């Protein structure tokens, strides 16, 4: 399975999960079977509220899912409309998040658990 996790820095699986999907500095793309991971810059990190283009930064990536700590309703709706599976994590690192995903402990993201806006509470909290 190939998943994408928003992260604050590129430290491989020890990277910390970013709390804001749309404004994350980078995305960690991980192949859960091989353990390979690589960071992709988020060129759309600085956008007006509600203008997140979540698939633009990930264009060309073959992904089976996205795992987030927090995501706005607009970005979540765009991902859901594209057929992308989106999961919520409360874990602080990519390694912890991957372990929870592989153990079936992550729940799907839903609109009622999405962030209301930048600087507000998180759906995963």
Write out pLDDT tens, residues 42-68: 876 554 555 556 567 788 899 999 999
**Domain assignment of residue 121, yes or no:** no
CA distance linking residue 96 with residue 118, whole number of Å: 25
**Domain assignment of residue 96, yes or no:** yes
pTM of the model as a whole: 0.84
How would you write the chain as a 3-class SS string?
Answer: CEEEEEECCCECECCEECCCCCCCCEEEEEECCCCCEEEEECCCCCCCCCCCCCCCCCCCCCCCEEEECCCEHHHHHHHHHCCCCEEECCCCEHHHHHHHHHCCCCEECCHHHCECCCCCCCCCC
**Domain assignment of residue 41, yes or no:** yes
**Domain assignment of residue 119, yes or no:** no
**Domain assignment of residue 40, yes or no:** yes
- At 122, the pLDDT band (50, 70, 90 cuts) reads very low
**Domain assignment of residue 125, yes or no:** no
**How high does pLDDT run on average in the chain?**
85
pLDDT at 56 (0 to 100): 74
Selected residue with higher pLDDT from 85 and 23: 85
**Domain assignment of residue 79, yes or no:** yes
- Domain limits at 26? 2-113
CB crowding 9-48: b at 16 or more within 10 Å, else e: eeebbebebbbbbbbbebbbbbebeeeebebbebebbeee
Total domains present in the chain: 1
**Domain assignment of residue 122, yes or no:** no
Give residue-wise pLDDT tens across range 77-102. 889 998 999 999 999 999 999 999 99
**CATH number reported for the structural domain that contains residue 104 in this entry:** 3.30.420.130
Asked whether residue 123 carries a pLDDT value surpassing 50, the answer given is no
């Amino acid at each position: 399975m190939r998943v994408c996790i928003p992260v604050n820095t590129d430290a491989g699986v020890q990277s910390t999960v970013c709390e804001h999907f749309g404004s994350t500095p980078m995305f960690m793309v991980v192949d859960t079977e091989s353990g390979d991971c690589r960071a992709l810059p988020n060129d759309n990190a600085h956008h007006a509220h509600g203008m997140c283009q979540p698939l633009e930064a990930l264009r060309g990536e073959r992904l089976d899912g996205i795992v987030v700590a927090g995501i706005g309703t607009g970005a979540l709706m765009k991902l859901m409309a594209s057929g992308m599976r989106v999961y919520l994590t409360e874990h602080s690192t990519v390694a912890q998040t991957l372990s929870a995903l592989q153990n079936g402990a992550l729940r799907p993201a839903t609109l009622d658990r999405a962030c209301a806006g930048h600087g507000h509470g998180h759906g995963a909290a």
